[in-house]
Amino acid sequence: MRKLAAGNWKMNGTAAALAEAKALIDAQPNPACDMLLCPPATLLAAMAEMARGTALRIGAQDCHAAASGAHTGDLSAPMLADAGATHVILGHSERRADHGETDAQVAAKAKAAQAAGLIAIVCLGETESQRDAGATLAVIGAQLQGSVPAGSTAANLVIAYEPVWAIGTGRTPTQAQIAEVHAFLRARLTDLIGAEAATVRLLYGGSVKPGNAAEIFALPHVDGALVGGASLKAADFAPIVAALSAA
């Protein structure tokens, strides 16, 4: 299994930020892991063109479940693939919270992404109140079962565990908490898709930074990271890529 360092730029970045993608390519020209940036849609095609022929892959942050149609403001998976995307983030907690996305909607989007040849990065995570109530595994299990479409394989699916309370807060779960959830995900995913689950990459996300990346990547069943703020600058993201390459 080749591990994955993915960066989610969220609603950040104008054309000037393309220089950071170029700096990342220069800093990590041949990493021992897969390297991905998911910029806002306005930068996707330009970044994909810049990254052509390099180790950097480009992804999107969402897609519509339909291939085309009267959906003003939305982008379909075939459009993203045509623009140069290889991956798409789906079901991020910010989409679930801000747009009310359900597990069923996430599954439909993931199915559309996979049909268009994209790798679906399906995000799962519990809130602080759910963690405090001892419901983490129940919440994660329900999200996984509801959000992963039939026919998913290690070639078209990545799972990202992002505890909502750790995203952008500087807080991270303990190593034991991360390990518990990732082991649970591997076992539950095996129930859902069978032996393929052994090589589906499980990413951790939530305040990953150069200072804690190595210890997180040393945990069992952690096959990479989905990084937010620390992916915006090559100087921050390149060391995370290096830590994963060394893991």
The fold of 4-246 is TIM Barrel (3.20.20)
pLDDT in tens, 131-169: 999 999 999 999 999 999 999 999 999 999 999 999 888
Residue type, 28: Q
CA gap 147, 225 in Å, rounded: 19
What is the predicted pLDDT for the residue at 121?
A: 99
- What CA–CA distance (Å, rounded) separates 19 from 180? 38
Domain layout of the chain by residue ranges: 4-246
Q: CA-CA distance, 102 to 125, in Å (whole number)?
A: 13
Q: Facing residues of 242 across strands?
A: none
Q: pLDDT tens across 49-108, in order?
A: 999 999 999 999 999 999 999 999 999 999 999 999 999 999 999 999 999 999 999 999
Q: Give 184-241 pLDDT, tens digit per residue.
A: 999 999 999 999 999 999 999 998 999 999 999 999 999 999 999 999 999 999 999 9
pLDDT band at 28 (very low <50, low <70, confident <90, very high): very high
> What pTM was computed for the model?
0.98
List, by residue number, the catalytic residues.
92, 162
Q: What is the pLDDT of residue 168?
A: 83
